[in-house]
Structure 1
Amino acid sequence: MRIFLATVMLSFAAATASAQTSFGVKAGGNMSFLNYKIEEGSQNVKWNGSRVGFQVGGVAQIGIAENFAIQPELLFMMKGVNKMDVEELGDVKLNIKTFTIDMPITFIYRTNGFFGGIGPNLSFGLSSKMKVDGNDDVEYDLYDKDADGEVSIFSQKRFEAGANILAGYKLKNGLSFSLNFVKGLTNLSEYNDDLEDASIKTKSSYIGLSVGDFFGK
């Protein structure tokens, strides 16, 4: 959490100090994906799901050369999965709704209004709740531990590091359109029980489409 906040402060401090900086807001929708993989020798079990969500927040473009810029963003996002099939647990379907603060920092090349680039993405989980489809009365907090300090195989870590790919177009009046893909690179699984020779890996990713408005050229 301290690393996340320090990165936010440094990025926006740099933006404020830059004379070639434009600030703005952006909002749009996303399609998020969550993949669980349990490995035990040559036996692998995989559960995959997706959910339509949203993203909204602030953005800046910090000019560092004629055609190059750094674009930090601070986004409130909804992610998760909807009706993910888990056959090994009795053919149940799970719904997971996760809210995060994401900070993609993209090194972009821009020309004639077009821009695109790559960079890291930092994500901090605010809330992650799971329900079994058809039983909305019971809700599980995937960030919580039970009275004995144990977690379930679906439990998640709050912090995730990933990579971001961004492409878009910015009009002369400041209106912009962008498409980005974020791939989580760290294991989200918080499960710490004894699985003998097995391991659990949880990875997330999402595709986002946004409309933004920059206040400065």
Structure 2
Amino acid sequence: MQAQELRFGIKGGVNVSTLGGDSYDGLVSFDSRTAYHVGIFAEIPLMMKFSIQPELLYSAQGSQFGGFFSVDGFDDQKLDYLNVPVLVKYNIIAGLSAELGPVFGYLISADGERIFDDEGLEIDNKEAFNDLDIGIALGVSYSLKSFLFGLRYNKGISNVNNDEFTSNKNQNNVFQIWAGYSFL
């Protein structure tokens, strides 16, 4: 597809995500969490073979708590975001495109590891994480007329942890496989 027509569509797929950056020392670590994403997109033609593709996605991310030992009180860390990727697409050949751009995420919910305040009282897990997440997306997509398929990697660049609760610095890292439908 050449960047000549405005397109709107829906998409969804599989996320394989983990929290990168600081991890627990020793025999425990963060493992991948397999979840999903779903949402809408628009492809806006620019010039020649370039277009801009903003998206609005619900994305289930986070990590599983893993490693050699399991530890009481530590569960899978489920972080669910409303993500807004803003991608520049380059149409390499008919149907095949490369995409690159920022991903802005807003934390909708956090469920997992139990978090305690200074008095030892359990608090809402969402308070332990920053509301805003920023990353960079790099991917490829292929279009068969109205049907689209793609692979994408979102590399987190901002710390997901609230500094009031931990000095660890972690980022969302998400590999996505997706399919979509474009309303021409």
TM-score (norm 1): 0.71
Alignment gaps of 5+ in structure 1 = 1-18, 133-138, 145-154
**What is the identity, as a one-letter code, of the residue corresponding to 1:34?**
L
Are positions 1:109 and 2:102 aligned together?
A: no
Are positions 1:37 and 2:22 aligned together?
A: yes
Shift of 1:83: 3.4
- Which residue pairs with 1:97 in the alignment? 78
Match of 1:27 among 12, 15, 18: 12
Alignment gaps of 5+ in structure 2 = 115-121
* Distance in 2 separating the partners of 1:55 and 1:71: 17
Runs (4 or more) in structure 1 with deviation over 2 Å come to 44-49, 82-87, 90-94, 139-142
Are positions 1:176 and 2:158 aligned together?
A: no
Which whole-Å deviations, capped at 9, do the CAs of 1:143-198 have from their partners, x for residues lacking one? 23xxxxxxxxxx211111110002010012x10001110011011110326x8xxx
Contact map agreement 1:61 1:72 (CA 8 A) in 2: yes
Q: What is the percent sequence identity of the aligned residues?
A: 25
The alpha-carbon distance between structure 1 residues 140 and 98, as it changes in their structure 2 partners (threshold 3 A), is: farther
Shift of 1:20: 2.7
User: Which deviates more from structure 2 when the two are superposed, residues 119-128 or residues 91-100?
Assistant: 91-100
Matched residue count: 171
- Which residue pairs with 2:58 in the alignment? 76
Contact map agreement 2:12 2:180 (CA 8 A) in 1: yes
Shift of 1:141: 3.2
TM-score (norm 2): 0.82
Contact map agreement 1:170 1:177 (CA 8 A) in 2: yes
Contact map agreement 1:169 1:176 (CA 8 A) in 2: yes
The alpha-carbon distance between structure 1 residues 75 and 108, as it changes in their structure 2 partners (threshold 3 A), is: same
Match of 1:165 among 118, 131, 138: 138
* Distance in 1 separating the partners of 2:178 and 2:13: 4
Are positions 1:213 and 2:181 aligned together?
A: yes
Contact map agreement 1:35 1:49 (CA 8 A) in 2: no
* Distance in 1 separating the partners of 2:136 and 2:157: 7
**Counterpart mapping for 1:45-194 below 5 A:** 47-85=29-67, 91-92=71-72, 93-110=74-91, 111-131=93-113, 141-144=124-127, 155-172=128-145, 174-192=146-164
